[in-house]
Amino acid sequence: MAIIGEYDPKKDLGSTVRFLASILEKTDAFVRHIDAQVNILVGLSSAIFLLSVREVDLSDLSSLTLVIFSGLAVIIALFAVHPPKFMRKQHQSESLFYNKKITSFPNAQDYADAVNKLVGDSDAIVREYSGEIYNSYKYYYRPKRKLFVWSRNSLLLGVILSYLLLFLGF
């Protein structure tokens, strides 16, 4: 009876690619989730802003506070939809998966050649996937998440301060 040998998952390129692809899919799911949260926050903050701006009276500090903070929350949340360039561009190297990298090739054949060269090198495949995953988290998801948190906290602070001022009689 011949012994085939032990299975080494590190040498199985298919399982490596599936593993890395699942991490990339998870990143995409996180981005979609934060986008949904941002959209809800934009709608809620906009509604509060529009309703409170109609009732604002310069002598009423409570409603003025709510207008200012809900307006600030809307602006920050809109930046979270597409973070400013300084938050998402840090001269990072782009992988072959990135759309601007793909379109930088003069034609489809040159891109196909680059992909074929990549397919022949398992270490290069891991580097490309790892670069794409890292860039997605650091330069896309994290800025969106940070802006979402700032926006949410601005809205919460405005609502809390507005209620405090209202109850204290300002």
Domain chopping of the chain, boundaries: 25-168
Distance CA 70, CA 35 (A): 19
The interaxial angle of helices 142-168 and 61-81, nearest 10 deg, is: 170
Q: List CB contacts of 31: < 8 A, sequence separation 6 or more.
A: 136, 140, 141, 144
- What's the rounded Cα separation, in Å, for the pair 96 and 103? 10
Distance CA 111, CA 128 (A): 14
Q: d(Cα 43, Cα 119) in Å, to the nearest integer?
A: 45
Task: Tokens 């802003």: give the residue.
Answer: 49
pLDDT tens digits for the chain (170 residues)?
A: 555 667 666 677 788 888 888 999 999 999 999 999 999 999 999 999 999 988 877 778 999 999 999 999 999 999 999 998 888 777 777 777 777 778 888 898 988 888 888 887 888 888 888 888 988 898 899 999 999 999 999 999 999 999 999 999 87
Helix (H) or strand (E) holding 118: helix 108-119
pTM, rounded to two decimals: 0.80
Token couple for 113:
């050649």
